[in-house]
Chain A
Amino acid sequence: FMLTQPHSVSESPGKTVTISCTRSSDSIGDSFVQWYQQRPGSAPTAIIYEDNQRASGVPGRFSASIDRSSNSASLTISPLQTEDEADYYCQSYDGTSWVFGGGTKLAVL
C-alpha cells in the first residue's frame, strides 16, 4: 500500500495546520499510524505513535487522529510556532514491510 501526503503546506505562526495522510488500499485502521518530524540536516524524530499518542517530550500542540471514512490519518499542529517548520512523514506497516508517506514540507510564514 501507499501513503499519500500533500507535498507542502504553509501557515502563519499562531494558526492551525493539518497534514493529511491517505492510505491507498485496505483500511487506515488496519495498522497504527506514526508521524515523524525532520528538520533540515537532522535525523527524523517521532512525534506521534499509535495513531494519536504523543511521543516523549512532544508538546500538546501536536495531535493526530485517523478517519476511517476517508481512509486517512491527520496531524494537527495548533498553535503553530516558527520552530515547527520541518518535513513531516506519516508511517504505517503491513506486517513485513514498513511504509512512509512521501513527506510534507511545512512552511511557517
Chain B
Amino acid sequence: QEQLVESGGGVVQPGRSLRLSCVASDFTFNYGIHWVRQAPGKGLEWVAFISDDGATQHFADSVKGRFTISRDNSKDTVYLQMSGVSPADTAMYFCARYVVGVKGGYYFDLWGQGTLVTVSS
C-alpha cells in the first residue's frame, strides 16, 4: 500500500533546530513532495516544495530563510530542516505527494499522517 510516513517531530525550544523526515513506501519515488502544516485548531498552510530531482525548491514566506528542504532518493526520503523555530511554527507537519492530473495540472494525491512539532521553552 502506497504511503508516506513522517517522523522527527517533538518538543523543541525556541531558536533551536529540528529535522523532519518523510519516507515513501510502495511506490516509485519520482514525484515532487510538499510539506504542509496545520497549527492546532487552524487550517492548512503550505510550507515547502521539492521537485522529483531536488533541483527546484520553493518556500512559503513565513519559513523562507529558516527552513530548507532536501531529498535522498536512494532512501525514498524527503527532509525538512527547521532552524530558528518559534512558537508560530507549532503545528502538525504533513508531507504530500504531488502528481499530475488528466489536464496537466498537479495536486496532492497522497498525504502522510503527520508529525507534531511543538515549539516551547
The chain A residues found within 8 Å of chain B, CB to CB, are: 31-32, 34, 36, 38, 42-46, 49-50, 53, 55-56, 87, 89, 91, 96-103
Contact = CB atoms under 8 A, between A and B. Distances in A.
A43 B114 contact: yes
Contacts of A56: 109
Contact of A103 (B44, B61, B109, B112): B44
Nearest to B6: A43
B34 interface: yes
Contacts of B101: 32, 49-50, 53
B110 to A, nearest CB: 8
A53 B102 contact: yes
Contacts of A91: 44, 107-108
Contacts of A96: 58
Nearest to A99: B46
